[in-house]
Amino acid sequence: MPEPYDVITMGRIGVDLYPLRTGVPLAQVDTFGKFLGGSATNVAVAAARLGRRAAVITRTGRDPFGDYLHQALREFEVDDRWVTAVDAYPTPVTFCEVFPPDDFPLYFYRLPKAPDLEIHPDELDLDAIRSARIFWMTGTGLCAEPSRTATLAALEARGKSGITVFDLDWRPMFWPDGAEPGAAYARALRHATVAVGNLDECEVAVGEREPHAAARALLAAGVELAVVKQGPKGVLALHRDGTRAEVPPVPVDVVNGLGAGDAFGGALCHGLLAGWDLERIMRYANAAGAIVAGRLACSSAMPYDGEVTRTLADGRVAAGDPAASAMTASASARSSAQTPEALS
């Protein structure tokens, strides 16, 4: 039997087209950078950057953008064997505007339907999903069929073996008008061992947005570890055994807040696999997220372990990060702020 994966993620993929000029609306932007995107995919990239064997389960269109995503995944050393093409729908494209430090509007082009929502239960490699040390799924995967049934089938196959992470990932624009996510979220939480979300996402999942109440409600819903991201107030983590960690954000000159949460997720996986104590994991994940907030892109901005370690030692993200300055046309648009809320 092949060696189990450290991390298998399941969910969104697409092409991010980010403006290479910041601080202006899209109507005034004439140059863009093209990047691999999608939250579940970015988490796999972040884990791979930290030395973990990672794969992603998702689908693209059968088009040149789909070809590009396969190429990018391989360059990032993320296994793309479960990334398959859908004839009926184009590969999604996402644009953003960049107004540091805290305004990053997103424009999703996922119509008439995104291929990553066409994952079918009978296509899943359940043996690989069962054996993965971490399986990571998202709330977006629950928003439509057949993805919802496939995601729940993967969770049920896990049977709470290993670490199963539910990224609450609430994107209301992806859900049909009038759809209520509560039942699907509750079912997923019963199968997950870890839940990760910001205050808005916690409120959708368990009806609580006060951080400590939200964490307790997530534990009551079935998980072993609740991670509540509080934006500029940092992150709270509460384990069923009573272990608790609440750590402040890492100071950073924000370039683009998109992708910070995905870097946090990949680093969270790395720390859980390493068996670190809860506070160390949260500090490491916070630092990884801050590094990406100081850069323009998401996937290509994911940090290596040495960068995270250096940031923790310095107590802040180094000013003049070459990965940011090389990709950002307007350095003057930067503003100093704390680590932003995860947006991607």
pLDDT for the residue 178 = 80
For the chain, the structural domain boundaries read 10-315
pLDDT for the residue 260 = 95
Q: What is the pTM of this model?
A: 0.93
Instruction: Please state the rounded mean pLDDT for residues 67-72.
Output: 98
Report the percent of the chain where pLDDT is more than 70.
Answer: 92
The candidate with the shortest Cα–Cα distance to 196, out of 236, 232, 161, is: 236
pLDDT for the residue 320 = 59
Instruction: Please state the rounded mean pLDDT for residues 233-261.
Output: 95
> 321 pLDDT band (50/70/90 cuts)?
low
Q: Is the pLDDT of residue 1 over 80?
A: no
Rounded Cα distance, 53 and 214, in Å: 32
| Structure tokens, 214 | 């939200």
pLDDT for the residue 332 = 31
> Average per-residue pLDDT in the chain?
92
pLDDT in tens, 93-147: 999 999 988 889 999 999 999 999 999 999 999 999 999 999 999 999 999 999 9
The candidate with the shortest Cα–Cα distance to 250, out of 323, 324, 340, 342, is: 340
Q: How far is the CA of 46 from the CAs of 186, 195, 233, in angstroms?
A: 27, 18, 23
304 or 179, which is more confident? 304
pLDDT for the residue 284 = 98
pLDDT for the residue 337 = 35
Q: Which residues contact 63 (CB under 8 A, 6 or more apart)?
A: 90, 91
Give the distance from CA 247 to its chain's centroid.
Answer: 20
Rounded Cα distance, 182 and 171, in Å: 13
Q: Which residue has the tokens 């959708």?
A: 204
pLDDT in tens, 9-50: 999 999 999 999 889 999 999 999 999 999 999 999 999 999
Looking at the DSSP assignment, which residues form a beta bridge with residue 123? Answer: none
DSSP E strands in 168-262: the ranges are 194-198, 225-229, 235-239, 244-247, 252-254
Q: How far is the CA of 160 from the CAs of 226, 249, 296, in angstroms?
A: 15, 31, 36
User: What architecture does CATH give domain 10-315?
Assistant: 3-Layer(aba) Sandwich (3.40)
